[in-house]
Amino acid sequence: MPNCKLTAESLSEWFTTPQGGYVLAREQAYFDRTVGDIFGYNALQLGLPEHDFLRRNRMPLRFCGSDQAGAAVRLCDDELPFDSESLDLVLLPHILEFAEHPHQILREVERVLMPEGNLIISGFNPRSLWGLHRALGRHEGYPWCGKFITLPRLKDWLALLGFEVVGGRFAAYAPPLHKTKWLERFAFMEAAGDRWWAVSGGVYFLHAVKRVPGMRLIKPKWNKGLVSKLMPVAPKMNNKITQRREHDSK
């Protein structure tokens, strides 16, 4: 278990700092842009009830589930109180790297998602300046106390559960500095990062779709009247054969 409080409230407090606000602005922009084009009926955001990452989505039911106060549904991330195949969209904003059992959370998400349902994950990238800062520093406080998950490993987990990755993005290329003025001075790294070192952003986003393999044999329903019009030779041939047999018998 990571050496930190496993509560969304602590991560939300970090988001109020200049360092956290820098990340939050980019995450909110990505979620706003992505969830607006996903349709269905039921959408769930796991964790961080103080931040509405579903605000641009147009599904009739959008809610946040968490073990913290302020959530619409109080729950445990690895035991979701929803029917199987009942949700169309699930967001996991920094849930997996601060969870004790990330695999179980993904299994539960796969269970409750409808076939062709959407899953969007955000996480801290260990192969970035942020990951380097964590590796060289003390693993205390947010977000450094989390277990950063590499993108290839996360993709492997999703593939084993039948998910297909259909999109993604990196963000937060500036170093993890603590003061706003220094973060602003490195703002040029956002555009440069997308072009020159796209996989080295401090945060990654992954958009996956639940695929359910299978097939059903569809039998054709023949229109007998249409068949008789298209194949008039068959009845005539049968009549001739019948008449010949009657003649031979005489």
pLDDT in tens, 128-180: 888 888 888 777 788 888 899 999 999 999 999 999 999 999 988 888 888 87
Please choose, from the candidates 127, 122, 208, the residue with its C-alpha nearest in 3D space to the C-alpha of residue 160: 208
Least confident of 21-25, 30-34, 91-95, 216-220: 216-220
- Report the distance separating Cα 161 and Cα 106, nearest Å: 8
Domains defined along the chain, listed by start:
8-210 (3.40.50.150)
Tens of pLDDT, residues 187-244? 766 766 566 567 788 999 999 999 988 645 555 665 666 556 555 554 444 555 455 5
Residue range 85-108, pLDDT digits in tens: 999 999 999 999 999 999 999 999
Render 17-82 in DSSP notation, one character per residue.
SHHHHHHHHHHHHHHHHHHTT--SSEEEEES-TTS-TTTT---SEEEEEESSTT-SEE-BTTB--S
CA dist., res. 51 & res. 122, Å (int): 14
pLDDT, position 215: 46
Mean pLDDT, the chain, rounded, equals 83
Nearest to residue 46, comparing CAs of 145, 161, 157, 123? 123
pLDDT at 249 over 80: no
pLDDT at 43 over 90: yes
Report the run of H or E that residue 207 belongs to, with start and end. Answer: strand 203-210
What six digits make up the tokens of 218?
A: 């569809």
Which of these, 96, 126, 129, lies nearest to 2 by C-alpha position? 96
